[in-house]
A = this chain, B = another copy of it.
Amino acid sequence: MSPKYPDKGFVRCIEIEKPVLGNNTSDAQRLEQALKKELGSQGVKIPLYLLKTLPSFLRRWDYKARAVLFKDRQSWRLVALVSPNFIEPDKIQSHQVLGAAIDIGTTRIVIMLLDLESGQTMGETGFDNPQAVIGPDVLARIHHSNQPGGLDQLQKLVVDAVNENLSLLCREKGCETKDIYLVTGAGNTAMTHLFLGIEAFEIIREPYIPCVNIPDTLMAKEVGLEIQTHGLLFLFPNIGSYFGGDLIAGILFAGLDKKQNPCLMVDVGTNAEIVVGSGDWLIACAGAAGPALEGGVSKMGMTAGPGAIDRVTIDRLTRKVAVHTIEEKRPVGICGSGMIDLAAALFLSGMIDIRGKFSRSVCEDRLVEEAGQLSFVLVDKAHSGTGHDITLSQVDLNSLTSSKAAMYTILEVIVKNTSDLEFEDLETFYVAGTFGSFINPDSAISIGMLPDIDRSRFQVLGNSSLGGAALLLRNPSAFDRIMEIRQSITYIELNVNQEFMNMFSGAKFYPHTDRSRFPSVPIDSA
């Protein structure tokens, strides 16, 4: 999945024809000709700020320059002209040409800094989306954006944080924000609107209309990004209120649009966002998979961080529980992947039954009554980092059961009912998202969350939103792919009808009422 670098990138060395008597071609026209020759394209607009000093720079640089460009759906744009010399003869100034890719997540924002000329990654940094102080989710933030000054406040929160972290990252890598000429970003539809300061409240109000699906390329300073004064910002387009640019970036990064055979990509989170298809067709849908998978709702749930239990095994004979925590700190909670591992281990060891209910007889003293709820003690207070037991209540487990059932049902609907495929027809099953990176496919299959296909077909994409945004910075041709992806996707509204509910009911069992669908899950666990 490492990004390729097939086309020549956004920085090009050009040589401009020198002027001669008897030819009234202007400097600007000769520059345009050189760019046309380099790009094989029509009409490159030269911004006024470059025109102002073009005559003297062309002559100082002996009619050579590095052109920093961007290509959007309209045409190629000239962002800047940089000295043809990486280091000036006086050896004082160097001229790097950098880009930054941003994953604008609701919860977390990740920035990658890269060299636009070599395509090399220079560094990466991540931080929590500071809009969380307004509200943890999109809904709360959009409601706030509708208050006087709310939209500006939300935009400022995220843009300021990006500026600060970008500046820190640059300092750490020994470069300067003024050398960043291009920024690409991908986020869901709401985050995209809030990042740009565009009214977002119609997204959540019937008939759920985003203001914009394809934001144009902007001057980065228009939204307050502190990079090169004339640097550009491009945010990935959405398809609708529930299908954002982050997913388009993911499809681009996974290369779904170039596949010969059907593949599937799922981004697991509060919403399960799923795309099935190949170079010929793409079908997408999104559905609420339930918050249990994100670890934000269950009592002991937490996002993946130090001390979070991310792996759980239970010996099927002794029923001895072993946990692994992130950074091997004392356990303080359990993250999404740990939750799936735990449920799988509980099921495979017979500690929960096929309905997902704790078996008192098997769990024995691991089950306690807590605030009127039956809870499973995963780590006792003597071994936890909190001084309290780390437990999983039946209620939390029910929530996970619903989530995994919803996920499986949505997969079933889109693959079987909509695409008329079997899970076995999928060449590759991409799991995207930070959370997805940590899922143990065996566990997810054991609980019936993911289909029981050959494990080698599962491929973890990591932060595919960031990956797609970075891919565009490296490959000008990706822009057309983005627009083609947008065009070729058929977005399916999940129809929660009786048939769906029947499928969902079957999927609420462990792994499923139809055991034949999960041949690799040990039969004795049921």
Q: How many copies altogether?
A: 2
What does DSSP make chain A's interface, helix, strand, loop or mixed? loop
- The reply to whether the CB of A74 lies closer than 8 angstroms to some CB of chain B is yes
Most buried by B among A28, A52, A211: A211
A 16-44 to B, binary, CB cutoff 8 A, 1 in contact else 0: 00011111111111000000000000010
- The reply to whether the CB of A94 lies closer than 8 angstroms to some CB of chain B is no
Q: Given A24-B239, A211-B26 in contact, is the A46-B216 Cβ separation under 8 Å? A: yes
Q: Which listed residue (B21, B206, B222) contacts A48, Cβ 8 A?
A: B222
Q: Which listed residue (B24, B53, B208, B213) contacts A209, Cβ 8 A?
A: B24
Contacting pair A198 B26 (CB below 8 A): no
On chain B, the residues within 8 Å of A29 by CB distance are 212-214
- The reply to whether the CB of A255 lies closer than 8 angstroms to some CB of chain B is no
Contacting pair B241 A201 (CB below 8 A): no
Number of interface residues of A (CB under 8 A): 52
From 39 to 69 in chain A, residues with beta carbon under 8 angstroms from any chain B beta carbon are 43, 45-46, 48, 51-56
Most buried by B among A25, A48, A243: A48
A29 to B240, CA, bound (A): 11
Contacting pair A28 B208 (CB below 8 A): no
Q: Which listed residue (B52, B75, B238) contacts A198, Cβ 8 A?
A: B52
Q: Which listed residue (B19, B43, B209) contacts A27, Cβ 8 A?
A: B209
Contacting pair A22 B493 (CB below 8 A): yes
A 173-206 to B, binary, CB cutoff 8 A, 1 in contact else 0: 0000000000000000000000011110110001
On chain B, the residues within 8 Å of A201 by CB distance are 55
A240 to B21, CA, bound (A): 12
- The reply to whether the CB of A387 lies closer than 8 angstroms to some CB of chain B is no
- The reply to whether the CB of A218 lies closer than 8 angstroms to some CB of chain B is yes
A61 to B394, CA, bound (A): 53
A23 to B240, CA, bound (A): 9
Q: Given A74-B75, A211-B55 in contact, is the A196-B48 Cβ separation under 8 Å? A: yes
On chain B, the residues within 8 Å of A208 by CB distance are 21, 24
From 203 to 261 in chain A, residues with beta carbon under 8 angstroms from any chain B beta carbon are 206-216, 218, 222-223, 238-241, 243
- The reply to whether the CB of A491 lies closer than 8 angstroms to some CB of chain B is yes
Q: Given A19-B207, A197-B52, A201-B55 in contact, is the A240-B24 Cβ separation under 8 Å? A: yes
A218 to B49, CA, bound (A): 11
Contacting pair A207 B21 (CB below 8 A): yes
What's the minimum C-beta distance from A413 to chain B, rounded to whole angstroms? Answer: 18
Most buried by B among A52, A54, A56: A52
Name the CB-closest residue of B to A151. Answer: B52
Q: Given A20-B207, A196-B51 in contact, is the A212-B26 Cβ separation under 8 Å? A: yes
Name the CB-closest residue of B to A19. Answer: B209
Contacting pair B211 A27 (CB below 8 A): yes
On chain B, the residues within 8 Å of A75 by CB distance are 74
On chain B, the residues within 8 Å of A243 by CB distance are 24
A 60-93 to B, binary, CB cutoff 8 A, 1 in contact else 0: 0000000000000111000000000000000000
Name the CB-closest residue of B to A73. Answer: B43
On chain B, the residues within 8 Å of A74 by CB distance are 43, 45, 74-75
Name the CB-closest residue of B to A241. Answer: B24
What's the minimum C-beta distance from A36 to chain B, rounded to whole angstroms? Answer: 14
A216 to B215, CA, bound (A): 22
A243 to B211, CA, bound (A): 46
Contacting pair A199 B52 (CB below 8 A): yes
Most buried by B among A55, A216, A223: A55
What's the minimum C-beta distance from A230 to chain B, rounded to whole angstroms? Answer: 12
On chain B, the residues within 8 Å of A25 by CB distance are 209, 213
A202 to B59, CA, bound (A): 10
Contacting pair B26 A209 (CB below 8 A): yes
What's the minimum C-beta distance from A248 to chain B, rounded to whole angstroms? Answer: 14
Closest 10 CB pairs of A and B: A24-B240, A21-B207, A28-B212, A26-B213, A19-B209, A55-B199, A26-B210, A55-B202, A27-B211, A55-B211
A residues adjacent to B (C-beta < 8 A): 19-29, 43, 45-46, 48, 51-56, 73-75, 151, 196-199, 201-202, 206-216, 218, 222-223, 238-241, 243, 491, 493
Q: A21-B208, A24-B243 are in contact. List 11 more A-B contacts (CB 8 A).
A: A24-B208, A25-B209, A27-B212, A28-B213, A29-B214, A43-B73, A45-B216, A48-B216, A48-B222, A51-B215, A74-B74
List 6 contacting pairs A-B, 8 Å CB cutoff, sorted by A. Answer: A24-B210, A24-B491, A26-B213, A48-B197, A52-B199, A54-B198
